[in-house]
Amino acid sequence: MKENEIMKMLYDVQHPAKGDRNIVELGMVDKIEIDGNRVSVTLAFSKHRDPLAEYLIGSTRAALVRHIPGVEAEVKTVIKDESKKPVGLNLGLEELAGVRHIIGVASGKGGVGKSTVAVNMAVALARLGYKVGLADADVYGPSVPKMTGTEGEMPEAYREGDKEVIMPLEKYGVKWMSIGYFAKPEQALIWRGPMACNALKQMILQVRWGELDFLLIDMPPGTGDIHISLVHDIPLTGAVIVSTPQAVALADVEKGVNMFRNDSIRKPIFGLVENMAWFTPAELPENKYYIFGKDGGAKMAEKYGIPLLGQIPLVQGIRESGDDGEPAALSSRPDGEAFVLLAGKLAEAVRNV
């Protein structure tokens, strides 16, 4: 039994007066102590005689008993002045101190292959010898665990002084972090804005990234509140925009671009990645079919004055390797090499900013 497993169980304990947010997210879990069969959880309250204290103590104990057969559960309380500590989130940026460049991978529209590009770009940068991490910021539909074959793994988490530190998983030479390692898939879908934002920032700010040349952030689709909050609170170096060549996707690119270019943000955009630029059937590797139109990405890049960083073909191998958890960028097939080329261009663009 580990502390982070207990933490996961406590997601079940909702605070009835706080929009049913759970006690973990509200920062109420002050301490977890495990001693063989005994588990002790300390809940932090901001005032004495909280009218809901008894209720929350009871439901915390019930959650432990429900999840751990035969547990000897103890729930203690401590009073903490909320005004001295941000609720549920440690906003310190120490964990990013060794990270040289933080790059958001964004798109205006969902389903254009943003996660595929982010994961493969990370693997390709590692192939080029860079130290790389990737944070999956798509709290509503995390795809990194599946795409990297790390589903079901549980990152180590421990307490250091008064903060919680999460260790990233390592595979294919890249450090990975995703909310998918902690939340049940159906749970994230019902998270409301602030909770999703907090969870997301924890996946970036409380992770012991160590020394990295690049930390890529697979941004959630769209351009909503989460994005604005993320771009404000995380010291991004800049962004990469992913699009497919169709006209509709290109119209959405504009939203993605504007997200980083507005006056209060002003982050550089290193370039556009045109995904599914053409289709190549496995049996005819020399053929290119421009099923979504030709040069859409190049035209859009020109329109916005950003470089076209790379073009990735639509090939069955990319989809299959995503499903199998073995990123295409590991292979020496043409699609694998396309990602390595792209990674090289990105590193160069970042160097030149």
Ligand X SMILES: Nc1ncnc2c1ncn2[C@@H]1O[C@H](COP(=O)(O)OP(=O)(O)OP(=O)(O)O)[C@@H](O)[C@H]1O
Binding site for Mg ion (CB under 5 A): 115, 138, 143
Minimum CB distance to ligand X, residue 9 (Å): 28
Q: Which of the listed partners (ligand X, Mg ion, none) does 111 bind, with a CB threshold of 5 to 8 Å by partner kind?
A: ligand X
Nearer to ligand X, 41 or 203 (CB): 203
Q: In the numeric block, which tokens belong to residue 263? A: 């006056």
Question: CA-to-CA distance for 8 and 190, rounded, in angstroms?
Answer: 16
Minimum CB distance to ligand X, residue 231 (Å): 17
Q: In the numeric block, which tokens belong to residue 171? A: 């595979």
Nearer to ligand X, 8 or 345 (CB): 345
Minimum CB distance to Mg ion, residue 36 (Å): 41
| Contact residues for ligand X, defined by CB under 6 A | 107, 110-116, 138, 141, 143, 221, 275-276, 312, 314-315, 318-319, 322
Q: Which of the listed partners (Mg ion, ligand X, none) does 102 bind, with a CB threshold of 5 to 8 Å by partner kind?
A: none
Minimum CB distance to Mg ion, residue 115 (Å): 3
CA distance from start to end of the chain = 47
Q: Which of the listed partners (Mg ion, ligand X, none) does 322 bind, with a CB threshold of 5 to 8 Å by partner kind?
A: ligand X
Nearer to ligand X, 88 or 113 (CB): 113
Nearer to Mg ion, 6 or 177 (CB): 177
DSSP line for 74-141: EEEEEE--GGGS-TT-----GGGTTEEEEEEEE-SSTTSSHHHHHHHHHHHHHHTT--EEEEE--SSS
Instruction: Give the count of beta carbons closer than 10 Å to the beta carbon of residue 220.
Output: 24
Nearer to Mg ion, 67 or 146 (CB): 146
